[in-house]
Amino acid sequence: MQELLTLWSQGAQASASMPTLAWSLVLAAAAAAGYLVQRYSGLPKVAGYSVVGAIAGFAGFADAAWPLAGNALFLLEMGIAVVLFEAGARISLRWFRHNPMVLVQSLLESVLTFVAVYWLLRQFDIAAGAAEPLAIVAVAASPAVLTRVVMDTRAAGPVTERAIVLSTLNTLYALTVGSALAGLVDGGAGANLAQTIYPVFALLGLSLVVAALLGLAMRSALRVMSPTSENTSMLLLALIAASTALASLVGGSAALAALLAGLLLKQLNPRPWVWPRQLGTAASMLTMLMFVLVSTVAANTAWTTAGAALILCLVAVRMLAKLTGTVLASFGSGLQLSQALWVGCAMLPMSSIALLLASQFARSSSAHGTVITGVALPAILLMEVVGAFAATVALHRAGESTRSGAHEDAGDSTRGRLE
């Protein structure tokens, strides 16, 4: 690959670089693989995207710098912002007032996941400065993977909705705490309580400001423009891109701002609204790019036999913690015990949010960055593929998957209704 890059730079005066060609070919292969995987195996398209990205990463065909920076970081944040805005716009805060056990369920599974993963890492002699960030990364499920699985399987029902809500909430916790504490990984040991809590509230406040601007701008646009118009789609994508850049500029979190903006828009406009078809097509392209980027970056890390045991134990402990927390708090939450079990299985995927948090911790920590990278990236790659399979099986066994994977949806670009 390096020889090709050198040859390209010496012998070609082209408008595009060799990495541009490489990424174009990888994305084309991912689109074909996603279609074929779903058509012939029934698995969601994200499995095909991830496998192609992993192959490209292992082969060094589409290199991406780590920790993420520049265009790669912006594209990842924008893809996450689109997914989290849609996920946030599905959640009505009024629901928590009528069923507060959902919040208890969310908090319990998140806390148990953090404690269990932290304890496991300490048993493997991982320093506390690395174990804490890795435990925060493990808390975040992947709304991106889950929503793609739901879309590809046309799943609908209480298990589907609860899994999306819980994965969105634990993502909210992980982003708020993780993004704020990324700068304290090396120097936070001597910080007092005020110095530890202040960054959390500062990040949350700045993200809320950006979220309010984004939510109000979108609500104003939807008042005067048709939701199905192509211009509305371009406006919404441009606003999300602008908020992503603005959040990074002012010191907030782009992903957190998008999630909060979706929540705000849902409260201001509680009636379900149709996600524009044109925006669905563009968002699908961004989502595919995001999954390929995640698996490519994760595959570029050093893989060792000694680290495999730690990764497998981490995945198993994380799965057990999420299942335990979801099942224990199912009583009074409106879910049967078996349904709570399938909800826990559906929250196993890790993907873009975990990668974003791992990148922030690796960039900010000179002392523990290598350890965080060596543990987080293999776990993310493994759970992006295995988690998608687990979520597909969980929704099928819950009886909420209404579509066979052997048929391609002619209306795949339609994102569906936000509820």
Secondary structure, 3-state, the chain: CHHHHHHHHHHCCCCCCHHHHHHHHHHHHHHHHHHHHHHHHCCCHHHHHHHHHHHHHHHCCCCCCCCCCHHHHHHHHHHHHHHHHHHHCCCCHHHHHHCCHHHHHHHHHHHHHHHHHHHHHHHCCCCHHHHHHHHHHHHCCCHHHHHHHHHHHCCCCHHHHHHHHHHHHHHHHHHHHHHHHHHHCCCCCCCCHHHHHHHHHHHHHHHHHHHHHHHHHHHHHHHHCCCCCHHHHHHHHHHHHHHHHHHHHHCCCHHHHHHHHHHHHHHHCCCCEECCHHHHHHHHHHHHHHHHHHHHHHHCCCCCHHHHHHHHHHHHHHHHHHHHHHHHCCCCCCCCHHHHHHHHHHCCCCCHHHHHHHHHHHHHCCCCHHHHHHHHHHHHHHHHHHHHHHHHHHHHHCCCCCCCCCCCCCCCCCCCEEC
Q: pLDDT per residue over 387-409, tens digit each?
A: 999 999 999 999 998 754 444 44
CB 350 within 8 A of CB 113: no
Q: Which domains does the chain have, with CATH numbers?
A: 2-9+16-418 (1.20.1530.20)
- Mean pLDDT confidence for 311-332: 93
Residue 75: predicted pLDDT: 87
Q: pLDDT per residue over 93-143, tens digit each?
A: 888 888 889 999 999 999 999 999 999 999 999 999 899 999 999 999 999
Q: Which range has highest mean pLDDT (9-23, 82-96, 159-173)?
A: 159-173
Comparing C-alpha atoms, which of 391, 400, 353 is closest to residue 258? 353
Measured CA to CA, the distance from residue 130 to residue 126 in angstroms comes to 7
Q: What is the mean pLDDT of the chain?
A: 84
- 6 has a pLDDT exceeding 70: no
Q: What percent of the chain has pLDDT over 90?
A: 42
38: Cβ contacts below 8 Å, ≥ 6 apart: 44, 45, 48, 152, 405, 408
Dihedral sign computed on CA atoms, order 171, 53, 392, 117: negative
Token readout for 242 is 């602008």
Q: pLDDT per residue over 138-178, tens digit each?
A: 999 999 899 889 988 889 999 999 999 999 999 999 999 88
- 225 has a pLDDT exceeding 90: no
CB 362 within 8 A of CB 184: no
Under the banding of pLDDT at 50, 70 and 90, the label for residue 277 is: low
Residue 299: predicted pLDDT: 83
Q: Decide which of 415 and 36 is more confident.
A: 36
Residue 109: predicted pLDDT: 95
Residue 412: predicted pLDDT: 45
192: Cβ contacts below 8 Å, ≥ 6 apart: none
Q: pLDDT per residue over 62-84, tens digit each?
A: 556 788 888 888 888 998 998 89
- 272 has a pLDDT exceeding 90: no
Residue 4: predicted pLDDT: 53
- 190 has a pLDDT exceeding 50: yes
Residue 221: predicted pLDDT: 84
Under the banding of pLDDT at 50, 70 and 90, the label for residue 3 is: low
- Mean pLDDT confidence for 379-392: 92
> Within 13 A of 292's CA, how many CA atoms are on the CB side?
29
* pTM over 0.85, yes/no: yes
